[in-house]
Every structure is written in C-alpha cells, then in structure tokens.
Amino acid sequence: MMMMTPHIRKFVLTAHITSSVGLIGAIGGFLALSVAGLTSQTAELVRAAYLAMELTAWFVILPLAFVSLLIGIVQSLGTPWGLFRYYWIVAKLLLTVLAIAVLLLQMRLISDMADVAAGTALTAADFWEARMSLVVHAGGGLLVLLVPMVLSVYKPQGRTRYGRRKREEPQLLSQP
C-alpha cells in the first residue's frame, strides 16, 4: 500500500471533511424544504420547495455524496487506517453506500414531485404519502450520516480479522 505524504494526506482529509459536512448541510436544507412542502398552506411556497428540492438533490446532494464516498476511500487506502482494517471504517463505508443507494432510489420521487409542482398547485392532501416519504427519508438520511461523523471523531477500538492479520504480518516477517 502506498502511503500519502503528510501534505497530501491533510489535503485529502480537508476535502473529505468539506464534502461530508457539505453533504450533511445540504441534506439539512433539503429536510427544511421537504417539511415546508409538506406543511405550508401557501401554494407558491409548496411549489418553490419541491422545485428547489430537485435542484438541491441533483446538483448538490448527489455529487457531494459521491465525492465524499470517493475521497473517503482514497483517504483510507492512502493512510495506515486502511479500508478494511477497523470496524469503524467499514461501518462508515457501509452507511455511506447505504445512504447513497437510498438517495438514488428517491431521486425519481424527487423529480416526479418537482414535475407535479411545476405543472399544478398542490393542496395539503395531494400526494401526501410521497411528500411524507421525502420528509422521512431526508430526516433518516441526516441521522444515518451523522453516525459516520461520530465514528470519525471517536474511532472506537476494534480491528477486523483482516486488520489483525495485517498488523501481525510485519512481526511474522521479522522473526527468524
């Protein structure tokens, strides 16, 4: 495995933190828009919320999600932490992939709601389940992505079987 220089490592870490925090912030904004779209009695505000949600999802959330995932993988492969050596890193990877998968599944609904909002005025009863789904998924996504942040800060102990084996390899090679 090729390790990054300290300058490159700091740059990659900064990029990862920036994209991850940006993603959490964008999802928070999306959640606010989805709540406004669900609860507002003003047709113009409802329409604007769903149109803004589509733009936010396609041009902010989705790109930041993939950038955060990609940079996280690059970062883990270029540092001693590795990608599969610690349970907390594997958990971060799995949670991020899960969040992106759910996001990709929700993109159709987001675009459909924006199309409906662009063409008609929505009442409080229109598309209730779909609108509620957007609120629930945004809130759930926000909670799911806060977990990797906490894991990054606390770095709970626990190496994977692969991580234990990799840690022991140098010791085995140095024994006569």
Q: What is the pLDDT of residue 32?
A: 98
117-148 confidence digits (pLDDT tens): 998 766 656 788 999 999 999 999 999 999 99
Backbone angles phi, psi at 159, to 5 degrees: -90, 150
- Mean per-residue pLDDT for 13-35? 97
Better-scored residue on pLDDT, 16 or 120: 16
What is the CATH number for 117?
1.20.120
pLDDT of res. 157: 86
For helices 87-119 and 43-56, angle between their N-to-C axes, nearest 10 degrees: 140
Report the alpha-carbon angle 173-175-176, nearest 5.
115
The answer to whether residue 1 sits within a structural domain is: no
Over range 80-101, report the average pLDDT. 94
The pLDDT value given to residue 89: 95
Over 70: is that where the pLDDT of 173 sits?
no
Q: Provide the domain count of the chain.
A: 1
User: Does some domain include residue 98?
Assistant: yes
Q: How far is CA 97 from CA 77, 101, 117, in A?
A: 17, 6, 30
Average pLDDT over residues 56-60: 98
Is 51 within the bounds of a domain? Answer: yes
Which residues are CB-contacts of 75 (< 8 A; sequence separation ≥ 6)? Answer: 9, 12, 13, 16
Report how far residue 7's alpha carbon sits from residue 15's, in angstroms, rounded to the nearest whole number: 12
H-assigned helices in the chain: 6-39, 43-56, 62-77, 87-119, 128-154, 161-174
Reported pTM = 0.88
Given a cut of 90, is residue 41 above it in pLDDT? no
Domain that residue 153 falls in? 6-174
Whether residue 126 is contained in a domain is answered as: yes
> Is the predicted pLDDT of residue 22 greater than 90, yes or no?
yes
The stretch 153-172 carries a mean pLDDT of 84
CA distances to 17, 149, 150, 158 from 88, in Å: 16, 11, 10, 8
pLDDT of residue 167: 82
